[in-house]
Amino acid sequence: MTSSTLMSRPATPHDPELGVAEALLSLLRTSTSEPRPDEQLEALTLAVAADLPVLLWGEPGIGKTAALTQLAESLDLPLTTVIASVHEPSDFSGLPIVGDDPAAQGVPMAPPQWAVRLVRAGRGLLFLDELSTATPAVQAALLRVVLERRVGSLRLPPGVRIVAAANPRASAADGWELSPPLANRFVHLYWTHDPEVVVRGLGGVWPRAELPRLDARRLPEAVASARRAVCGFLEARPTLIHRLPNSEARRGGAWPSPRSWEAALTLLAFGTAASVSRDVLALLVRGAVGDGAGLELLAHLDRMDLPDPEILLADPAAAVLPERGDLRQATLEAVVAAVGARPRRERWEAGWAVLAGALETGAPDLLVGPATALAGLRRDDWEVPETVERLTEVIGLARQAERSVARVAERAGTRPASGAGR
């Protein structure tokens, strides 16, 4: 039987052709899941565990809705999908219902059916889809839903988590920019596709979202560390406590405010307790307070994790330096600064011993700047220690290499890289 014949026949519940088609569709829809490292899925799951509203940004067809569906199944949470653009403001603020005596009882605001189902279930995942196509009036009505968890006269139970999805305005159907008050209530995660994940998923195996494993023994430490980091950073950068972006488009994303800093603090505590990677932590922090403030906070966290230069100077043989190049160089520069703050011969020699140890475990070019600065601290009556001889040849070669790079760049008519040609 041809496909045209099948389409022309009236369908019946017992149509054998449709039965075969349903069997084929069932096989196509059958898939399994597997644990797989996925930074954006890990960031999403951690934010959901922290009970913070999350907004997934991504182009149409990128898999945002599928990720939320799979997340709800993995966490065993009933999924309630509400497409914001097809609702009226009253669907979120409630419809007025006149009772027997409005003057005495007032006029209650009746909530929609989906909110009643969530309250009866006591738990669930509320998925606000197509948020960027919601009109400003609907966005205003969503403010209490997202922040206060109120829909009409109902309060959503603590077991309900809120996740939204939106397309950038350029690719949204009749899209709007998010209002700043609504945008500032979300942790913004930018969803992209991983080709390997897509190919493996189309083959029938998708990554599985799992709740982060929080170490109960680290909870007090995680809270203290997060508070120390955020408060210390904001004391040094008070202008970043509240900074509303100038452009309308950026106001619809993540930006720093007391509310979003509280979210960042919560995410830092959860990330520390779950021992997530720095990349996952970066997605979350930048998603809460924006790229600029988030990157500055991450740099502050790196500085907090640097070894104490006084401890390194006290026992150079036992010095353990960071492996990351930028952190290693920052540590060596801090050692030199500590020697400069209290210049004594034994401290100066200990500084050279720390640099010599760094030479054995890392790239020699990182030593050029700190070694030059440390040499400049020498007093006339201080003899040059033997460790300096071990560094002289390497530092000289590093300088020659930098000068060569500078000469090549000049011949090519380009500007040399930062730090070249010292």
The per-residue pLDDT of the chain, averaged, comes to 83
Cβ atoms of 74 and 209 within 8 Å: the answer is yes
Q: 382-404: per-residue pLDDT in tens?
A: 887 877 776 776 665 445 544 54
Instruction: Provide the edge-to-edge strand list for the sheet that holds 187-190.
Output: 79-83, 123-129, 159-166, 54-57, 187-190
* Residue 144 is assigned to a structural domain of this protein: yes
Name which residue leads in pLDDT, 109 or 406. Answer: 109
Q: Which of 78-82, 123-127, 209-213, 376-380 has the lowest mean pLDDT?
A: 209-213
Q: What is the pLDDT of residues 95-111, one digit of tens each?
A: 767 666 565 566 667 78
Is residue 348 predicted with pLDDT exceeding 60? yes
- Domain that includes residue 165, residue range: 33-96+108-195+203-207
- 318 CB-contact burial (10 Å; exposed 0-12 / middle 13-18 / buried 19+): exposed
SS3 at position 201: helix
CA within 13 Å, CB half, 134: 29
- 352 in any annotated domain: yes
pLDDT digits (tens, 9 = 90+) for 96-153: 676 665 655 666 677 888 899 999 999 999 999 988 888 889 999 899 899 889 888 8
Instruction: Give the type of residue at 235.
Output: E
Condensed to tens digits (0 to 9), the pLDDT of residues 201-215 reads 888 888 877 778 899
Same domain, 190 and 220: no
With beta carbons less than 8 A apart as the criterion, state whether 211 and 147 touch: no
**339 in a structural domain:** yes
Tell me what the mean pLDDT of segment 192-207 comes to: 85
Collapse the DSSP code of 238 into the 3-class scheme (helix H, G, I; strand E, B; otherwise coil) and give the result: helix
279-308 mean pLDDT: 92
pTM: 0.73
Q: At 417, is the pLDDT very low, low, confident or very high (cuts 50, 70, 90)?
A: very low
Q: Is the pLDDT of residue 45 over 60?
A: yes
Number of domains in the chain: 3
Side chain identity, residue 295: L
When mean pLDDT is compared across 210-219, 299-308, 317-326, 387-396, the lowest value belongs to: 387-396
* Tokens linked to 360: 């054995």
Does residue 5 lie within any of the structural domains?
Answer: no
CA–CA separation, 244 vs 181, rounded Å?
Answer: 10
Mean pLDDT of 39-50: 92
Model confidence band, residue 7 (pLDDT cutoffs 50, 70, 90) = very low
> Which of 304, 330, 354 represents a domain boundary (last residue)?
304
Residues with Cβ within 8 Å of 123's Cβ and at least 6 positions away in sequence, in order, are 77, 78, 157, 159, 160
Q: Is residue 103 part of a domain?
A: no
Amino acid type, 100: D
